[in-house]
Amino acid sequence: MIEGKKVCAIIAAAGMGKRMKHSINKQFLEIDNKPILAHTIDKIENSKYVDYIILLIKQNDIHYLGEIINKYKISLPYKIVYGGEERQDSINNALNHMPDDFDIVLTHDGARPFVDVAKIDLAIETALKSGACCLANKVKDTIKVSYNGKQVAYTPNRSELFAVQTPQVFKKDILLAAYKQAYNENYYGTDDCSLVEKYGKKIELVLNDYKNIKITTPEDLIIAEALVEEN
């Protein structure tokens, strides 16, 4: 809770994880002998503001989640919700199952186990003031835009480019209105912020470090193990 406002964290772990090329979804693979999702839940639980967790998973992954809950426990109240066809549908399912008495909603990728707890708290504090925010990094590489995948159309100014991460945090009424509008207009965004932007709300950026990687490919697992050793 923050200034009397209750905070619900939605952890999205219902993706297919095709790029990992593994028989089980990436969130249930292990780093440092512990499932990725268990690491992520631990970080969210350690926020001083989060009151409630919604775990978004695929229905056929319930046994993997059950193993995590039995072994590592979850100290906060939580609910398990099954995902939809797209990430947006999954988050919408979670919003529909969220208790009414929450004011702030945080969404986070289950495959981002290295998020810093202090940054989670800062994002929540920022959202309380601004209404909407997300963690982001300045882009290090020069980015090229191509419309056909073969030729460069133009090079945007790198100083104006940011790689957006999670958590993304919103006042509940703003996020609910943005989702309602998106479905009314049959619009699918690539993240929650894109829906809120389309709704007309500016997103505050909370600058983050470069360790908050999303584990997506086999190469990311190697990087993740290195980050564990570094910590």
Q: Is residue 38 part of a domain?
A: yes
User: How many domains does the chain fold into?
Assistant: 1
The pTM assigned to this predicted structure is 0.94
Q: Give tens-digit pLDDT for 138-158.
A: 999 999 999 999 999 999 999
Q: Is residue 2 part of a domain?
A: no
Q: Is residue 105 part of a domain?
A: yes
Q: Is residue 1 part of a domain?
A: no
Q: Is residue 166 part of a domain?
A: yes
Q: How far apart, in whole angstroms, are the C-alpha atoms of residue 93 and residue 49?
A: 23
Q: Is residue 207 part of a domain?
A: yes
- Are β-strands 34-35 and 30-31 bridged in parallel, bridged antiparallel, or unpaired? antiparallel
The helix/strand/coil state of 133 is strand
C-alpha closest to that of 117 among 29, 125, 35, 203: 125
Q: Give tens-digit pLDDT for 76-120.
A: 999 999 999 999 999 999 999 999 999 999 999 999 999 999 999
Contact between 93 and 10 (Cβ < 8 Å): no
Tokens at 25, concatenated = 């979804």
CATH code of 60's domain:
3.90.550.10
Can you give the pLDDT at residue 145?
96
Residue range(s) defining the domain that contains residue 61 = 7-230
Can you give the pLDDT at residue 94?
97
Q: Is residue 73 part of a domain?
A: yes
Q: Is residue 80 part of a domain?
A: yes
DSSP lists the bridge partners of residue 2 as 5
Contact between 187 and 198 (Cβ < 8 Å): yes
Contact between 54 and 94 (Cβ < 8 Å): yes
Question: What are the backbone dihedrals phi and psi of residue 108, each rounded to the nearest 5 degrees, phi first?
Answer: -145, 145
